[in-house]
């Protein structure tokens, strides 16, 4: 009998009955999954094992991970190993997942079993497209993966391996390799692991650094399931070293409940960077009304003030053309880009910004009277829109590209005179007037009215859609305030508005509300 393998013919070779050691790696594009599989194969072969690696690619970088599958068995003369090309449910010894939801998918596929599998997973999240596209919080529930992994695996090693990799300036594959070594599930020494990485040439030292940190984290039992404890409450600093911000700090301590001060300070910092210190005091004046209500209710948690502090700050820091240009030209953004892309100090990086302004953004940046005149003339408005409403690519790494956005950001000093500022401020004041009206009728309902502001977010078309849904919800709220069950109805409307981009869920919720309360439609 002869068995043909490629162009090699083996005559009467014995087929191995040894059970191979199997590893499945789930990684997305750009995470170094292929490198990790190659390292494992090289490690096995350098230590007298026969190893085979295969891969099953996903649909795309974030709609499906690639599964790299490795099997290894001790090499024996005259004996040919029998290895599988893909992982089978219930038959995998080690599963490595380079992202936490991919860990959950490994469990769903049956690759993780309690009698056999050592489960190594990074707890960081790289959000999928379906998670990002929802207007509200579309993130998948990590807690479900935690619960499933507790009962699905023989042993779990889980911590943030991406953070270690970024800290060391390398890919997550290096820290995953370290977690694999630290778990002591392969019959190879630490020196053997390090020798494989050390032979890689450029970037080997950074990978070794991440490898060793992950190895120590695993061996010292620092590796745990996802941290589920609540974050410690933010503490107001004693001072900032900036006189204007210190005066704001003092006002927070003097006029507002302690439980709301951290949120107010965060809002103040944001608005100081957005406009100026006078703008911050305008913000505190608006929140002050709700703080006074809470002072009249000393036994209650100041949830009204906290909601006002959060959502009024967001409403006042609306994303206009000036703010977008400012965000794209800050030194912090360039530093973050270099850090995320692992750019060395002696390397250059050029960022290309894709800009697609509409005519409305341009008129909104003009002085109030001029912008309004243009918008009242349809032909003039159409001509302006044809001129500006097309995609542009601007390199902020070049002098001309940077100066264009930098000068546009410098228009911040004139923001209060723009048409967009006038409209946003009028919309803000109508919302706050309604919230103040609701406080006298139903405190809990007023809190929900303030929380509805989270429907408005983003820029351009996204902002317009969110504001339209917000207006419909507030219109319906005005018709049910003071009625039985109004708080629950308003919460349901807010949830429906956040459920999808088009607003189909909100439309259905409003019809349901109209059937419960005659005449309620939310339409304007």
In a domain, 392, yes or no: yes
Predicted structure pTM score: 0.72
Give the residue-averaged pLDDT of 132-160.
Answer: 72
For residue 42, pLDDT beyond 50 = yes
Quote the domain boundaries for residue 448: 243-317+421-516
How many structural domains are present in the chain?
Answer: 3
For residue 241, what are the contacts with CB-CB under 8 A and spacing of at least 6?
Answer: none
- Alpha helices (H) along 376-499: 378-388, 399-409, 419-439, 443-451, 461-480, 486-497
Cβ atoms of 365 and 320 within 8 Å: the answer is yes
User: What are the pLDDT digits (tens) for 96-124?
Assistant: 988 877 888 888 788 888 888 999 988 88
- Last residue within a domain, chosen from 203, 219, 235: 219
In a domain, 238, yes or no: no
For residue 223, pLDDT beyond 60 = no
In a domain, 304, yes or no: yes
Q: How far apart are the C-alpha atoms of 514 and 93, rounded to whole Å?
A: 57
Same domain, residue pair 174 and 309:
no
Q: How far apart are the C-alpha atoms of 106 and 99, rounded to whole Å?
A: 11
Same domain, residue pair 178 and 29:
yes
Q: How far apart are the C-alpha atoms of 153 and 490, rounded to whole Å?
A: 42
Residue 63, pLDDT score: 47
- Last residue within a domain, chosen from 186, 219, 252: 219
| 87-91, 218-222, 310-314, 437-441: segment of lowest average pLDDT | 218-222
How many Cβ atoms from other residues are within 10 Å of residue 268's Cβ?
A: 25
Same domain, residue pair 426 and 290:
yes
Same domain, residue pair 25 and 105:
yes
Cβ atoms of 295 and 257 within 8 Å: the answer is yes
Same domain, residue pair 110 and 37:
yes
Residue 7 backbone dihedrals phi, psi, to 5 degrees: -105, 15
CA distances to 236, 276, 282 from 272, rounded to whole Å, are 16, 5, 11
In a domain, 75, yes or no: yes
Same domain, residue pair 108 and 29:
yes
Same domain, residue pair 388 and 410:
yes
Same domain, residue pair 302 and 327:
no
For residues 9, 11, 12 and 14, what is the CA-based torsion angle, rounded to 10 degrees? -40
Same domain, residue pair 160 and 276:
no
- Last residue within a domain, chosen from 383, 418, 453: 418
Same domain, residue pair 206 and 117:
yes
In a domain, 507, yes or no: yes
């Amino acid at each position: 009998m002869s068995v043909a393998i490629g162009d090699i013919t083996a005559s009467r070779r014995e087929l191995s009955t040894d059970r191979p050691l199997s590893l499945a790696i789930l990684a997305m594009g750009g995470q170094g999954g292929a490198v990790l599989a190659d390292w494992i194969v090289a490690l096995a072969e350098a230590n007298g094992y026969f190893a085979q690696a295969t891969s099953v690619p996903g649909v795309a970088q974030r709609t499906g991970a690639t599964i790299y599958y490795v099997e290894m068995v001790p090499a024996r003369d005259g004996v040919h190993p029998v290895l599988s090309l893909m992982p089978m449910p219930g038959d995998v010894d080690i599963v490595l997942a380079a992202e936490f939801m991919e860990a959950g998918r490994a469990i769903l596929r049956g690759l993780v079993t309690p009698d056999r599998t050592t489960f190594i997973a990074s707890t960081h999240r790289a959000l999928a497209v379906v998670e990002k596209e929802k207007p509200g919080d579309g993130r998948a529930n990590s807690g479900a993966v935690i619960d499933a992994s507790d009962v699905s695996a023989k042993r779990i090693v889980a911590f943030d391996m991406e953070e270690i990799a970024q800290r060391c300036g390398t890919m997550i594959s290096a820290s995953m390799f370290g977690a694999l070594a630290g778990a002591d599930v392969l019959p190879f020494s630490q020196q053997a692991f390090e020798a494989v990485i050390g032979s890689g040439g450029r970037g080997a030292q950074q990978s070794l650094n991440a490898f060793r940190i992950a190895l120590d984290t695993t061996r010292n039992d620092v590796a745990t399931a996802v941290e589920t404890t609540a974050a410690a409450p933010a503490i107001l600093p004693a001072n900032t070293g900036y006189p204007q911000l210190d005066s704001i700090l003092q006002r927070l301590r003097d006029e507002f409940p302690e439980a709301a001060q951290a949120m107010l300070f965060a809002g103040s910092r944001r608005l100081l960077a957005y406009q100026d210190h006078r703008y911050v005091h305008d913000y505190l004046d608006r929140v002050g009304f709700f703080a006074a209500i809470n002072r009249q209710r000393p036994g209650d948690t100041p949830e009204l003030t906290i909601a006002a502090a959060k959502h009024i700050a967001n409403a006042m820091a609306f994303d206009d053309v000036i703010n977008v240009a400012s965000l794209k030209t800050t030194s912090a953004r360039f530093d973050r880009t270099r850090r995320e892309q692992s750019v060395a100090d002696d390397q250059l990086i050029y960022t290309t910004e894709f800009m697609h302004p509409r005519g409305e953004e341009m008129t909104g940046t003009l002085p109030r009277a001029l912008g309004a005149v243009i918008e009242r003339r349809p032909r003039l408005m159409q001509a302006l829109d044809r001129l500006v409403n097309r995609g542009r690519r601007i390199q902020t790494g070049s002098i001309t590209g940077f100066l264009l956005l930098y000068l546009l950001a410098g228009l911040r000093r004139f923001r209060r005179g723009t048409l967009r500022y006038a409209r946003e401020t009028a919309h803000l004041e109508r919302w706050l007037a309604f919230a103040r009206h609701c406080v006298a009728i139903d405190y809990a309902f007023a809190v929900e009215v303030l929380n509805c502001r989270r429907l408005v977010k983003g820029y351009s078309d996204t902002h317009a859609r969110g504001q339209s849904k917000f207006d419909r919800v507030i219109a319906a709220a005005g018709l049910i305030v003071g009625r039985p069950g109004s708080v629950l109805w308003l919460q349901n409307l807010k949830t429906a508005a956040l459920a999808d981009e088009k607003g189909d869920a909100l439309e259905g919720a409003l019809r349901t509300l109209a059937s419960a309360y005659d005449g309620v439609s939310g339409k304007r």
